[in-house]
Amino acid sequence: MLDFAELGGSGRKLEQLVRELLLQRGFDPQWSGVGPDGDRDLTFIERGSDLLGSKPRKWLVSCKDFSASGRAVGVDEANGVLEQVRHHAAQGFLLVCTTHPTASLVTRLESLERESSDGLVVHYWDDVVLERLLSTPRCWAIAQQFMPKTTDAWKIFATDSPNRWVAAHRGYYFRLSSRTAGGMRYDLESLDRRIDEIEAIASQLGVEIRLRAVWHNDTHGSGYTWYLDCISPYGDDLPNPETVLKSLGDGVAREDGQWHSFDIEHYNVSLSDHYDRDHYERYERLPAYL
C-alpha cells in the first residue's frame, strides 16, 4: 500500500501530485492566482466530447492531506465551496484527500450539488481512489516521484496474456515475459542484483542505460535476456557496443544459476521538449513476444 504520509502533511505535495495525475490523464491543470483563502488554487479543464459539441467544464480542486494524523476530512471543509467555485467561474468541485471524507461531509457535498442553481458537479477522491489511480503502469511514475520509500518495492501488473506483465521498479518501466505460460517465475532478488550491475556500468561509462524488457526462457530454466537502451546526448560519443556487452557480462552465468544475455540499442538523443527517456517509441523495437 502507498504511504501518503510521505507527502509531508502540508498539502502542497498532494496538490503537485494531483496536478501530475491530471496531466497524465489528459486534463489541463493550472495554478490560479491567490484565491479567497489566501493561497493559490488548482483548477483543471475537463474537455467535452466532440460528438456533443466539445463543451468544456472547469473544475476547482481542493486537496486535504491528513495522512499524518489519519483523521477523516470533516464537514467543515465544505464551508465556502460555492463561493470558491464562483470565484473561479468553475462548474465542478473535486475534493482530493489522503484519508477519507466523513459521512456528514459526503452528505453535505451531495446536497450542494443537488441544490445548486447553476449545475454544479461535486466529486471526491479518497485514499482508495488515489491509490487505484496511481497503481497503474501509466501513473506509477508519479507515485515513485512523490513517495519513493513505499514505491521502491516491485510493482507488477498483469496483462491480458498469462505470460506477460508490466513492471515498475526503481524508476524503470519495463515488460516481463516468459517463454511459456503458467504464472510468473522470476527470481526478483536476482533481477535486482542485475539492475545494480547495470547501473554501476552505466555510471562507469558515463551514459544512461534504461531497462525496457526482460524475457525469461523458463522452459528449461536456462536464463534471461535483457533488453536495454544505451542513451547519450547528441555530441557525446557512445561507448563501443562490444565494450558495453563485455562490461555487463553478456552470456555469463550468475550466482542464480541462470545465463544472462543483453540486447542493447544505442541512441544519441536531442534533449528537446519532445524527449522523454521512457517515450513509447523506445519500446516499439521490442520483439512481438515481449
Q: Return the pLDDT at 203.
A: 92
Q: Which one is predicted more confidently, 1 or 208?
A: 208
Rounded-to-5 percentages of helix, strand, coil across the chain: 30, 30, 40
How many residues belong to the chain? 290
**CA-closest candidate to residue 25, choices 170, 146, 136:** 136
What does the angle CA 73 – CA 30 – CA 28 come to, to the nearest 5 degrees?
A: 100
Beta carbons of 173 and 165 less than 8 angstroms apart: no
**CA-closest candidate to residue 133, choices 41, 11, 277, 2:** 2
Predicted TM-score (pTM) of the model is 0.65
Which domains are assigned to the chain?
Answer: 4-133 (3.40.1350.10), 153-283 (3.30.70.1420)
Report the chain's C-alpha Rg in angstroms.
Answer: 24
Residues 214-271 have pLDDT tens digits of: 999 887 667 899 999 998 888 778 788 898 999 999 999 999 888 999 999 988 877 6
For the chain, what percent of residues have pLDDT higher than 70?
93
Question: Is residue 273 predicted with pLDDT exceeding 70?
Answer: no
Residues 98-135 have pLDDT tens digits of: 999 999 999 999 999 998 878 899 999 999 999 999 98
Q: CA-to-CA distance for 230 and 187, rounded, in angstroms?
A: 24
6 pLDDT band, cuts 50/70/90, is very high
34 pLDDT band, cuts 50/70/90, is low
Supply 176's cell numbers: 516481463
Q: Return the pLDDT at 182.
A: 61
Kindly give the residue spans of alpha helices, DSSP state H, lying in 97-218: 103-115, 127-134, 140-146, 188-205
β-strands 252-253, 164-169: how paired? unpaired
What does the angle CA 29 – CA 131 – CA 113 come to, to the nearest 5 degrees?
A: 55
138 pLDDT band, cuts 50/70/90, is confident
